[in-house]
Amino acid sequence: MGEWGQDLLQPVDLLLEADVERLAHAAQRLDPRLDVVGLEVGRQLGLQFLDHLQHHLLARQPAAAAALLGLDVQDGPKHGLGL
């Protein structure tokens, strides 16, 4: 390409370099936020797991008590608790 072509491409190179610097700066600002988001996602997953565990354990207690008392109880996801 010659010297004339290089002179024409110099502003484009400067714009690309500025874009790279701008994007790198934006990425640096996002890095600390990713840590916070990761902690919050982990916390929410833990809470959801405990909620499901608690729900399933508590849903079985009435059926177990009814069975202990000799009551006819249908326990299952399709039947619910037929007390």
C-alpha to C-alpha distances, 73 to 15, 22, 42, 63, nearest whole angstrom: 74, 66, 38, 6
pTM: 0.40
pLDDT band at residue 68 using 50, 70 and 90 as cut-offs: confident
Q: What is the DSSP letter of 74?
A: -
pLDDT band at residue 8 using 50, 70 and 90 as cut-offs: confident
The tens digit of pLDDT for each residue in 17-64 reads 888 888 888 777 776 777 788 888 999 999 999 888 888 777 777 777
Q: 3-class DSSP state for residue 76?
A: strand
**pLDDT value at residue 78:** 52
> Domain ranges in the chain?
2-72
Type of residue numbered 59: A
